[in-house]
Chains A and B, each alone.
Chain A
């Protein structure tokens, strides 16, 4: 875990973002910043061999889900036949609003119960396990609406996440000598992680006093305290100002480069193109496409379902005010 490594990727990202609007292929190429860890490099190699079809088997799948169905009344929110997530890679789960991404995410992490389905993490079945058990097995999640524990300090937030703390057992809690050693170690580790997320100066502030973006960072830092093998991020960029998005992306990439597997739900296309090794697209509860970012973004089904026909058009572009161009776009739209 080196702080400078994440720095490096962050600045690399910032450079990319500063450039002019890129085409899909360019963006994917830019994303191909070579991963620094062996696991991540291997994952990338492995994924390049995988055929981009729905339900494609992965060479080294850490998470495998089968026939996961969740209904709300008559509406089928999630109906995933088969999904495998490659170890050591960043997998993005994208889709339009109401596609069932977050619901699927909640099911996998034990925060919701499906009507049917099985899924396993590192070969062990997680179906029917509680959220806490899922987290203990090494799959830790964050939330779309950040859940910073407001009236705890930033450091307390971090220490709370430390696993296997003997002082968290009631019968030992009143004997400080049984847990002080663990506490000291955890504090050192927490300060290290906070420093990496540039939150170390805030360690003694209440988490409630942090800005929205800082809370996102804290949530990610807190998840790292549990030493996860896989980290699940629910819309990590939602509601974060653009300047911070770049640093968040850098942090996500750094997680992969340390050998962690990342699965994240995201709306922000820019982010998806840049940092993900594999993209899974959901629409109306089903997986409609998966593959490397460049391939998936050009998939007609995906473009139709999610991106809209003009996903490459910059809506801030003044040329859109030109009636001629607008008329052409509208004509195209009608033909579809």
Chain B
């Protein structure tokens, strides 16, 4: 029973973990791309990694916190422009190919020895080198705080301050997305998602709108990357294709083209993912299941199950949890 409570607490903790907030933010950006504009961005992890590097390198170079945050945003903006300007005039599939390879290029550059002086190569940047400015901002007193079953230090890597800040940023991003997508601007994006030629025929500069969407979503992704590395380290290999697919799973689980979908998706995804892994590990250690699934295989099986979940979602509930069933009543293309 104690074991079960521990598993439950760990899963519950995942709901408000900074990582969950980081994924939620990245998924909010991806939602702007895919949910509202129909852009297939398969390289959101590239935006996140670039944002993390931008923040980390700027801070290490001596930039104050908000300047470093700005550097991360600008990194996302430039990356989006570089990818978008040549590809957004082509058919949608090309953006998918270009983004997935560009994200890999960023990761390989990051882990190469070429820029090691800045990026730290394959081992990345240590958290203690760039967290100082962020933790100095904390208004919380020293010590620890217990809320219900959760206990963290007030200020530090895995702290209440990190959580408050991360979810605060997510809340602001939600407000932003809610405001812009209910406007005529958001309506043009949705029109482009449905049929860009029709929107073009009505005198709208489709290319410019797609670029705006890519840039904004990419900047949210970069900010998500910053949130992701605040409690840990910047390690290029932790922010690869798997991360992109996790962001996609989060978005599709919650429901694309809904405001709260990405947040709900991130919470459910990481809660369930943690529950599944800790549960499997406990079963494997304490029961006969261990003969079939050894504890060392739990991570791999967990990854496989995420893949299967993504497939099942797309096939059986493409609108996600919050999506409107009515919108899928007619065949979309």
Say yes or no: A132 contacts B179, CB within 8 Å.
Answer: no
Whole-angstrom distance between the alpha carbons of A223 and B203 in the complex? 10
Give the most central of B183, B201, B206: most A CB within 10 Å: B201
Of the 9-residue stretches B146-154, B188-196, B300-308, which lies at the interface with chain A?
Answer: B188-196
Q: Which residues of A contact B (CB under 8 A)?
A: 109, 111, 130-133, 135-136, 140-143, 147-152, 156-157, 159-161, 163, 165, 167-170, 172-174, 176, 179, 183, 206, 208-209, 219, 222-223, 225-226
Say yes or no: A168 contacts B201, CB within 8 Å.
Answer: no
Say yes or no: A167 contacts B184, CB within 8 Å.
Answer: yes
Say yes or no: B201 contacts A206, CB within 8 Å.
Answer: no
Q: Is B6 an interface residue when CB atoms closer than 8 A count as contact? A: no
Q: Is B199 an interface residue when CB atoms closer than 8 A count as contact? A: yes
Residues of B within 8 A of A174 (CB): 176, 179-180, 183
Q: Which residues of B contact A (CB under 8 A)?
A: 176, 179-180, 183-188, 190-191, 193-195, 197-206, 212, 326-327, 329-330, 332
| Cβ of A145 to closest chain B Cβ, rounded Å | 10
Known: A132-B206, A179-B184. A149 touches B200 (CB 8 A): no
Say yes or no: A143 contacts B198, CB within 8 Å.
Answer: yes
**CB-CB nearest in chain B for A232:** B201
A-B contact pairs, 19 of them (CB 8 A): A130-B200, A131-B200, A132-B203, A132-B205, A135-B202, A140-B203, A147-B195, A149-B199, A152-B187, A152-B191, A159-B184, A167-B185, A170-B180, A172-B185, A173-B186, A174-B183, A179-B184, A183-B184, A219-B198
A sample of 4 more A-B contacts (CB under 8 A), given A160-B199, A169-B185, is: A111-B201, A135-B200, A152-B191, A167-B183
Whole-angstrom distance between the alpha carbons of A223 and B301 in the complex? 54
Say yes or no: B176 contacts A140, CB within 8 Å.
Answer: no
Task: Name the contact of A206 in the complex, choosing from B183, B186, B205, B327 (C-beta under 8 A).
Answer: B327
Say yes or no: B330 contacts A222, CB within 8 Å.
Answer: no
Residues of A within 8 A of B327 (CB): 151, 206
Whole-angstrom distance between the alpha carbons of A147 and B333 in the complex? 11
Whole-angstrom distance between the alpha carbons of A65 and B199 in the complex? 25
| Cβ of B263 to closest chain A Cβ, rounded Å | 19
